Amino acid sequence: MGNVELEQLREQLDDVNLKLLELINKRAELVQEIGNVKKVQGVNRFDPVRERDMLDLIAEKNEGPFETSTLQHIFKEIFKASLELQEDDHRKALLVSRKKQSENTIVTIKGETVGDGIQRVIAGPCSVESYDQVNEVAKAIKKQGLKFLRGGAYKPRTSPYDFQGLGEEGLKILKQIGDELDLAVISEIVTPNDIEKALDYIDVIQIGARNMQNFELLKAAGSVNKPVLLKRGLSATIEEFINAAEYIISNGNGQIMLCERGIRTYEKATRNTLDISAVPILKKETHLPVAVDVTHSTGRRDLLLPTAKAALAIGADIVMAEVHPDPAVALSDSAQQMDIEQFEHFMDELRASGLYKDVTKSSAV
């Protein structure tokens, strides 16, 4: 007997669900019609006064058993979903999204491509300290058949008393060495005012982790014709990271590379926690090339090689690592930079691993 009753109640419930379904969709159609009328009239679709009236009416008519606050919450969700139905396409699919562009964005930097399936290594000292220091690293990069030299001229340091970088002088050193050795140079810019100046010196503008949500800087980088390497914020979610890239592309510059550089967690064995799964997520969600900075994510020299292998294996377009002629006396990040010999070993091991899809070397051999 009980079973029959249960069956009947369930049937009634299914019936009500279907009626709700029909009503919710009917409501959505009405909202769309209202949206069209408003469009013709040129008025805003979202009307908070009208929403308040609708919520008040629900409060007035509610006879339970649901609490009014519960019902208002449910209705608010329905209002939101209906409004989203009418939103413009750019709100539904971000410009950086794979839904917007299915093919990979290929960024061209001084004649070299990134994002086309060939994996790249970016190396260089944490800070530009002198011509000789950068030159020594640049020659090692050149010797490896690599094309990208990175060095910091403006260093956003946690302590104001730490070395802040050589500034424009550092950019000049990078430019000179880039020209002499035909390397593309990458450097971090920390203020919107310096973006224009940077165009004369560098091939890629890096936006650092601490500036990932410096929206004025993102807009400035978005309004120039220069590739941007955008690093993930210290505690940024992937969604926030993607939105930071959206700031750049929506201002006109689509030449963006995303860089996973570790996130802050409770773990103390490494400087940050390398979020390796961010790589396939970013590759799936966006059409932009993805880099992994093994230096800042681990903060440990002994982890550079295994994490670089992981990055290559999981499909990163770029591995980035810091190299200094004498890390012990480096003005920043001395504990984690490789010296030249360690860098050569690092490159040899990457090649030997078979994980590194490197056209530069394999075609030269």
Q: Shortest approach of ligand PEP to residue 146 CB, angstroms?
A: 17
Binder among 260, 333, 339, 358 for Mn ion (CB under 5 A):
333
Q: Does 188 bind Mn ion (CB under 5 A)?
A: no
Q: Does 174 bind ligand PEP (CB under 6 A)?
A: no
Stretch that binds Mn ion, among 118-126, 142-150, 201-209, 313-321 (CB under 5 A): 118-126
Task: List 149's β-bridge partners, or say none.
Answer: 123, 185
> Phi and psi (nearest 5°) for 272?
-135, 175
Q: Does 309 bind ligand PEP (CB under 6 A)?
A: no
> Quick one: DSSP state of residue 114?
E
Pick from 280, 301, 89, 300: nearest CA to 292: 280
Binder among 296, 301, 309, 324 for ligand PEP (CB under 6 A):
296
Binder among 120, 231, 301, 324 for ligand PEP (CB under 6 A):
231
What's the CA gap between 251 and 131, in Å, rounded? Answer: 35
Pick from 231, 337, 229: nearest CA to 278: 231
Q: Does 233 bind ligand PEP (CB under 6 A)?
A: no
* Beta strands, E only, the chain: 107-109, 112-114, 120-124, 148-150, 184-188, 204-207, 228-231, 256-260, 290-293, 318-322
Give whichever of 126 and 259 is closer to Mn ion, judged by the CB atom: 126
Binding mask 176-205 for ligand PEP (x = CB under 6 A): ------------x-----------------
Binder among 261, 271, 287, 324 for ligand PEP (CB under 6 A):
261
Q: Shortest approach of ligand PEP to residue 95 CB, angstroms?
A: 24
Q: Does 126 bind Mn ion (CB under 5 A)?
A: yes
Q: Helix (H, G, I), strand (E, B), or coil: what is residue 337?
A: coil
